């Protein structure tokens, strides 16, 4: 029995939590009574019984297409506890992408939340035998003679889950195009969550507020499995995390842990915090002086801390590179932020530090029990591709052995496709994606992400994308037209003509600003207005392949 408890599997770890924290709160919607781990255990047994009666067996694929809710975790655990394989699908996937995932994975069942039913209209799948509504486990589609869900039922099967059993196939919505099914084992994910806990310990009094999709590896491992290991409670929102929804939720829950992506905190900084300094003539001058800027940032940091509920101890940021100006603010504001780095293929965490050990512009050191190297580093800069090895590296891409062998070497190193450097203390610094890197006219390495970071600091800019077109560096820039109109609200007649002129002026100024802040081979030769927001992935990274 001792040996079984020590296994790196979801059921073994859940049993441990149940024995210590059975009565503790586990999952809830904001404003509603949380379910305890004992109640969740009862729900899991009932869902396993439901799956058993409807012919789901170990190894079968069960898809989950749902917004975040307590039942999401219940279904995920039910599927994986009975040695079946969960296939989480991102809620922002199109109907075509959903259909492709269901077909490619061969899913026999689909659990779906009601608002996403439009994604499966007209769906034809030979394998898919039943579609179940996430909210109450009633059938949306079932074969004749199917058994309804019984909340008091108990599973009859005995399942011995092994560490190398497949727990999940996660289809990436990467920035490079075609989705790939990443096969993650119980050991991959459990090991990763446990190492997340080494970076920042959590306990039964911690409160997570979940804002990222649970179908993404980042939220799945660190926002579902990690709190389960610690007996912590996770709260979910019934509506998308807009400021109007998020601010009262944070005031009510007073979360101690949140996992976010850079865009969330960048929007807060550029839209709320920076304008308070920039729009006041005196503060604008003071903010340019580093000692006074630090004092102002610290004062703003206190307000920000209160906005987040006043109890936050770990504000995790991952999924993309954080803007340097925003990070400098968080550092000077003494806000408890922590940057992590990882990929779906590594379940996901590869490097990270807790807020007390954050190093500016770095993701921190590699996680305990893993290996991280810079492969074939440049002799001058130390830059090279980041390679990783350890128990968190995926089994491979589902049904894609050739694609798998391209990224995993014969001796187990995973090629991340990211460029980075390591300092003497072992801290990792990300330079950008290898595929995104642009080769200059004289062979120089140009990192578009670094130029974009500078562009995004410029007033009125919401987001940007730097690409190479016919040998020239071109910046596509999406600007905040409302803010621009507000700034020039004295425009009298022919507003649209004058606004057009102002936009041209801003883009011209922007080009000059950027080119004075980058080296000569990273200078922008053309700035193009991007009239609508760029299309993005689940972690709000721009889908570059659509624009290059």
Question: In whole angstroms, what is the distance from residue 523 CA to residue 188 CA?
Answer: 42
Is residue 357 in a domain? yes
Is residue 208 in a domain? no
Is residue 532 in a domain? yes
239 lies in the same domain as 137: no
Question: In whole angstroms, what is the distance from residue 368 CA to residue 353 CA?
Answer: 11
Q: Name the token pair of 60.
A: 């079968």
- Tens digits of per-residue pLDDT, 267-305? 899 989 999 998 899 999 999 999 999 999 999 999 999
Count the neighbouring beta carbons within 10 Å of the beta carbon of residue 298: 13
Provide the sign of the torsion angle of the four alpha carbons 238, 241, 244, 249, taken in this order.
positive
Q: Name the token pair of 104.
A: 């490619």
State residue 470's pLDDT score.
Answer: 86
Give the range of the structural domain holding residue 318, as residue numbers without chain letter. 235-389+414-433
Buried b (16+ CB within 10 A) or exposed e, 386-413: bbbbbbbbbbbbbeeeeebeebbeeeeb
Under DSSP, the state recorded for 457 is T
How far is CA 341 from each of CA 123, 203, 427, rounded to the nearest angstrom?
Answer: 36, 23, 11
Cβ contact 86:181 at 8 Å:
no
Beta strands in 214-345 (DSSP E): 233-236, 257-260, 314-317, 337-342
Under DSSP, the state recorded for 542 is B
32 lies in the same domain as 86: yes
Is residue 108 in a domain? yes
416's enclosing H/E stretch is strand 414-422
Q: Find the CATH number of the domain harbouring 367.
A: 3.40.50.12780
Question: In whole angstroms, what is the distance from residue 419 CA to residue 433 CA?
Answer: 6
Buried b (16+ CB within 10 A) or exposed e, 45-67: bbbbbbbbbbebeeebbbbbbbb
HSE-CB of 270 using CA atoms within 13 angstroms: 26
- Tens digits of per-residue pLDDT, 198-229? 999 999 999 999 999 999 999 999 999 999 99
Q: Name the token pair of 223.
A: 């926002």
State residue 485's pLDDT score.
Answer: 80
Furthest C-alpha separation in the chain = 81
376 lies in the same domain as 303: yes
Question: In whole angstroms, what is the distance from residue 331 CA to residue 296 CA?
Answer: 12
| DSSP string over 482-519 | HHHHHHTTT--SSHHHHHHHHHHHHHHHHHHHHHTTS-
| Average pLDDT along the chain, 548 residues, taken 10 residues at a time | 67 98 98 98 98 98 98 98 97 90 95 96 88 98 95 96 98 65 98 97 97 96 98 97 94 98 91 91 94 96 97 95 94 97 97 96 97 96 96 97 97 97 97 87 82 92 92 93 76 65 91 92 93 88 87
71 lies in the same domain as 168: yes
State residue 335's pLDDT score.
Answer: 98
149 lies in the same domain as 173: yes
Please report, for the chain, how many H helices and E strands are present, in that order: 18, 25
Q: Which of 218, 234, 245, 416 lies closest to 317 in space, CA to CA?
A: 218
Question: In whole angstroms, what is the distance from residue 350 CA to residue 372 CA?
Answer: 8
Is residue 213 in a domain? no
Question: In whole angstroms, what is the distance from residue 227 CA to residue 73 CA?
Answer: 11
Q: Find the CATH number of the domain harbouring 444.
A: 3.30.300.30
State residue 178's pLDDT score.
Answer: 64
Question: In whole angstroms, what is the distance from residue 13 CA to residue 197 CA?
Answer: 14
Query: Which of 188, 218, 246 is the last residue before a domain boundary?
Result: 188
455 lies in the same domain as 371: no
Count the neighbouring beta carbons within 10 Å of the beta carbon of residue 126: 7
Q: Check whether the bond before 348 is cis (ω within 30° of 0).
A: yes
Q: Which of 262, 178, 215, 213 lies closest to 546 in space, CA to CA?
A: 178
Is residue 130 in a domain? yes
State residue 3's pLDDT score.
Answer: 43
124 lies in the same domain as 260: no
Is residue 311 in a domain? yes
Is residue 120 in a domain? yes
Question: pTM of the entire structure?
Answer: 0.89
Question: In whole angstroms, what is the distance from residue 211 CA to residue 259 CA?
Answer: 7
456 lies in the same domain as 328: no
**Residue position matching structure tokens 């709000």:** 540
State residue 260's pLDDT score.
Answer: 96
335 lies in the same domain as 445: no
513 lies in the same domain as 451: yes
8 lies in the same domain as 150: yes
Q: How many domains does the chain have?
A: 3
178 lies in the same domain as 257: no
**Residue position matching structure tokens 């769906």:** 123
Q: Which of 96, 137, 100, 102 lies closest to 118 in space, CA to CA?
A: 96
Strand partners for 257: 208, 314
What's the gap between Cα 496 and its chain centre? 39
Question: In whole angstroms, what is the distance from residue 387 CA to residue 439 CA?
Answer: 22
| Angle between helix 10-21 and 70-81 (nearest 10) | 120
């Amino acid at each position: 029995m001792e040996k079984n408890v020590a296994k790196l599997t979801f059921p073994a770890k859940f049993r441990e939590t149940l024995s210590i924290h059975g009565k503790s709160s586990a999952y809830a919607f904001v404003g509603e009574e949380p379910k305890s781990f004992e109640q969740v255990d009862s729900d899991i047994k009932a869902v396993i019984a439901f799956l058993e009666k409807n012919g789901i067996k170990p190894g079968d694929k069960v898809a989950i297409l749902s917004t975040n809710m307590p039942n999401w975790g219940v279904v995920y655990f039910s599927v994986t506890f009975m040695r079946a394989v969960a296939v989480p699908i991102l809620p922002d996937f199109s109907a075509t992408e959903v259909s492709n995932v269901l077909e490619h994975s061969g899913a026999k069942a689909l659990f779906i939340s009601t608002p996403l039913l439009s994604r499966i209209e007209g769906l034809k799948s030979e394998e898919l035998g039943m579609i179940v509504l996430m909210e109450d486990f009633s059938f949306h589609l079932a074969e004749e003679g199917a058994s309804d869900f019984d909340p008091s039922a108990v599973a009859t099967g005995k399942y011995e889950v092994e560490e190398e059993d497949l727990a999940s196939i996660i289809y990436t919505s990467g920035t490079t195009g075609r989705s790939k099914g990443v096969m993650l084992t119980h050991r991959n994910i459990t090991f990763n969550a446990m190492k997340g806990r080494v970076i920042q310990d959590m306990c039964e009094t911690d409160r997570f507020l979940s804002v990222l999709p649970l179908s993404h590896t980042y939220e799945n491992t660190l926002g579902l499995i990690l709190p389960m290991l610690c007996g912590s409670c996770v709260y979910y929102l019934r509506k998308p995390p807009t400021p109007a929804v998020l601010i009262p939720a944070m005031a009510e829950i007073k979360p101690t842990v949140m996992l976010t992506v850079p865009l969330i905190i960048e929007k807060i900084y550029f839209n709320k915090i920076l304008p308070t300094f920039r729009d006041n003539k005196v503060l604008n001058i003071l903010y340019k002086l580093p000692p006074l800027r630090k004092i102002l940032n610290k004062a703003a940091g206190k307000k920000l801390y209160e906005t987040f509920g006043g109890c936050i101890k770990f504000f995790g940021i991952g999924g993309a590179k954080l803007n340097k100006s925003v990070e400098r603010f968080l550092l000077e504001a003494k806000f408890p932020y922590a940057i992590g780095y990882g990929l779906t293929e590594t379940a996901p965490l590869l490097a990270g530090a807790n807020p007390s050990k954050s190093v500016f512009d770095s993701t921190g050191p590699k996680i305990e029990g893993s290996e991280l190297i810079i492969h074939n580093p440049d002799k001058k800069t130390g830059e090279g591709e980041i390679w990783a090895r350890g128990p968190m590296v995926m089994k491979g891409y589902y049904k894609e052995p050739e694609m798998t062998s391209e990224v995993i070497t014969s001796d187990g190193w995973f090629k991340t496709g990211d460029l980075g450097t390591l300092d003497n203390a072992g801290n990792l610094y990300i330079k950008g994606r290898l595929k995104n890197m642009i080769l200059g006219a004289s062979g120089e390495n140009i990192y578009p992400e670094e130029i974009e970071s500078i562009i995004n600091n410029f007033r009125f800019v919401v987001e940007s994308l730097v690409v190479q077109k016919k040998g020239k560096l071109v910046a596509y820039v999406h600007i905040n037209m409302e803010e621009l109109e507000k700034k020039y609200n004295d425009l009298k007649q022919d507003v649209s003509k004058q606004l057009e002129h102002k936009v041209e002026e801003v883009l011209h100024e922007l080009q000059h600003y950027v080119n004075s802040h980058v080296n000569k081979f990273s200078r922008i030769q053309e700035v193009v207005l991007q009239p609508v927001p760029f299309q993005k992935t689940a972690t709000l990274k721009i889908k570059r392949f659509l624009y290059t």
